[in-house]
Structure formats: structure tokens, C-alpha cells
């Protein structure tokens, strides 16, 4: 992902967001547990509780939201 300059990947289930897959998810759920990536789907490692916003909130509002959900 880093080599291709790809950030988080949104994982979809039809029209719904199923989760988000990041490099951190990969390291935490696949690499650190000794799993082989070709045997693990994105669902295995993705973060499922995704917080979403509309395009309108300010960056500060988004930061506040992330603090509220933790």
C-alpha cells in the first residue's frame, strides 16, 4: 500500500460500508500474528466500526468526533 501510495481502502458489502482496511490493520491482524496475507481476506483484518461524516464538517469537527468515539 505504501509503495503504491494507497491510503485506507473502504470495504463494501453491496451498497453498505462493511469496514476499512489500513496498513495498520494489516500489521496488527496479519503480519504480527504470523498469518499469510494470501490466505486472509480483507474482512479478516479490516476495522468494522467505521465512523463516517458528510463532506461538510471542518477538520476540527472530525478530530473532535474521533475523540468522542474512542
Look at residue 43 in the predicted model and tell me its pLDDT: 83
Look at residue 19 in the predicted model and tell me its pLDDT: 94
pLDDT digits (tens, 9 = 90+) for 19-62: 999 988 888 877 777 777 777 778 888 889 888 899 999 999 99
pLDDT band of residue 7 (cuts 50, 70, 90) is confident
Distance CA 66, CA 32 (A): 25
Average pLDDT over residues 6-23: 92
Among candidate residues 63, 53, 55, 62, the one with its CA nearest the CA of residue 17 = 53
* pTM of this structure: 0.68
Look at residue 58 in the predicted model and tell me its pLDDT: 95
What spatial distance separates the first Cα and last Cα of the chain, rounded to whole Å? 26
Q: Give Cβ neighbours of residue 57 (< 8 Å, ≥ 6 apart).
A: 65
CA distances from 40 to 21, 25, 36, 52, 53 (A): 12, 12, 7, 26, 29
Amino acid at each position: 500500500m505504501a509503495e503504491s501510495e494507497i491510503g485506507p481502502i473502504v470495504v463494501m458489502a453491496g451498497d453498505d460500508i462493511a469496514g476499512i482496511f489500513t496498513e495498520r490493520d494489516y500489521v496488527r491482524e496479519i503480519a504480527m500474528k504470523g498469518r499469510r496475507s494470501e490466505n486472509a481476506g480483507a474482512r479478516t483484518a479490516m476495522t468494522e466500526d467505521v465512523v463516517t461524516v458528510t463532506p461538510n464538517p471542518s477538520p476540527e469537527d472530525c478530530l473532535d468526533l474521533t475523540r468522542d468515539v474512542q
